Structure 1
Amino acid sequence: MTARRKKPSATPHLRTTEKIGDRRTTWAELLNDLVFTVIIAQLAMRLLNTFDGPALGKFLLLYVPVWWLWNGETHYSTRFDSDRDTIHRLLGSLQLLGLIILAAAIPKALASDQSSIVYALTYSAVRLLLLIEYGRAWVYVPEARPYIRHITTGFSISVLIWLGSAFVPTPYRYALWGLALLIELSTPLTTSGGRLHKEFPPDVRHLPERYGLFTLLVLGQAVTSTAQGLIQTGFETDTVVATLLGGIVIIGLWWAYFDRLDDDAVRRVSEGGSARLYAFWLYLHLPLTVALTVVGVGLTLAIRGVDAPELPASTQWLFAGSVAGYFLAEAGISLTTLKAGPSHPSFVRGVIVRFGMAILLISIRLLTSLNTLTLLGIAAGAIVALIISDQFSPEAPESEERIVGQ
Structure 2
Amino acid sequence: MTHGQPDDLSLQNGQNVSDQATAQPDGSLGTPAGAEQKVSWLELFFDLIFVVAFDQLAKRLGDSVSLENVGVFALMFTAVWWSWSGNSTFAARYGNESRVYRWGTVAQLVSMAMIALAERGDLEETGGFFAVAFGLNRLIHAALHLWADRQSPEALAYSRAVAAAAGVTGALWLGSALLPGGGRAQLTLWGLALALDILAPILIRQKGLQALPHEAHLPERVGLLQIIALGTVITEIVSGGRGQRLSAATLLPAFLSILTTVALWRLYFDQARSLPLLAAHLAGRVGSMLAWLYGHLPFTLSVVMLGVGLGHGISSGKASEIDRFQPFVVWSLAGAFATLAFLRWNSRRVAGQRGLDRSLVTLLAAALGAALLSRPDLDTRQLHGAAALLTVTAAVLVATDPATRRLGQLEQRVSEVIEERAEALQPEGT
Same fold (TM over 0.5): yes
**Separation of aligned partners in 2, 1:224 and 1:41:** 8
Of 287, 290, 296, the residue aligned with 2:307 is 296
**Separation of aligned partners in 2, 1:390 and 1:382:** 12
**Separation of aligned partners in 2, 1:308 and 1:95:** 42
Which AA in structure 1 matches 2:389? G
Q: Where does 1:70-85 land on structure 2 (aligned, <5 Å)? A: 70-83=84-97, 85=98
Q: How far apart are residue 262 of structure 1 and its match? A: 2.4
Q: Name structure 2 gaps, 5 residues minimum.
A: 1-26, 419-430
Of 332, 344, 357, the residue aligned with 2:366 is 357
**Separation of aligned partners in 2, 1:19 and 1:274:** 15
Q: How far apart are residue 171 of structure 1 and its match? A: 2.4
Q: Which residue of 2 aligns with 1:99?
A: 112
Q: Where does 1:6-405 land on structure 2 (aligned, <5 Å)? A: 14-16=29-31, 18-20=32-34, 22-83=36-97, 85-108=98-121, 110-112=123-125, 115-169=126-180, 170-190=183-203, 193-305=204-316, 307-308=317-318, 312-343=322-353, 348-366=357-375, 368-394=376-402, 395-396=405-406, 397-401=409-413
**Separation of aligned partners in 2, 1:100 and 1:207:** 23
**Separation of aligned partners in 2, 1:311 and 1:145:** 54
Which AA in structure 2 matches 1:81? G
**Separation of aligned partners in 2, 1:348 and 1:227:** 36
**Separation of aligned partners in 1, 2:347 and 2:118:** 38
Q: How far apart are residue 274 of structure 1 and its match? A: 2.3
| Number of residue-to-residue matches in the alignment | 385
Q: 1:359 to 1:147 in 2, by over 3 A?
A: same
Which AA in structure 1 matches 2:215? V
Other structure's SS at 2:207 match: helix
Other structure's SS at 2:179 match: coil
**Separation of aligned partners in 1, 2:287 and 2:148:** 25
Q: How far apart are residue 311 of structure 1 and its match? A: 6.0
Report the TM-score, using the length of structure 1 for normalisation. 0.90
CA contact (8 A) 1:123 1:162 kept: yes
Q: How far apart are residue 91 of structure 1 and its match? A: 2.0
User: CA RMSD, aligned part only?
Assistant: 2.0
CA contact (8 A) 1:58 1:110 kept: no
Other structure's SS at 1:233 match: coil
Which AA in structure 1 matches 2:388? A
**Separation of aligned partners in 2, 1:172 and 1:371:** 40
Report the TM-score, using the length of structure 2 for normalisation. 0.85
**Separation of aligned partners in 1, 2:233 and 2:33:** 36
Determine what percentage of the aligned residue pairs are the same residue. Answer: 26
Which AA in structure 1 matches 2:267? A
CA contact (8 A) 2:322 2:380 kept: no
CA contact (8 A) 1:13 1:137 kept: no
**Separation of aligned partners in 2, 1:262 and 1:36:** 21
**Separation of aligned partners in 1, 2:344 and 2:36:** 24
Q: How far apart are residue 344 of structure 1 and its match? A: 8.2
Q: How far apart are residue 310 of structure 1 and its match? A: 7.6
Q: How far apart are residue 51 of structure 1 and its match? A: 2.2
**Separation of aligned partners in 2, 1:244 and 1:23:** 38
Which AA in structure 2 matches 1:76? F
Which AA in structure 2 matches 1:201? L
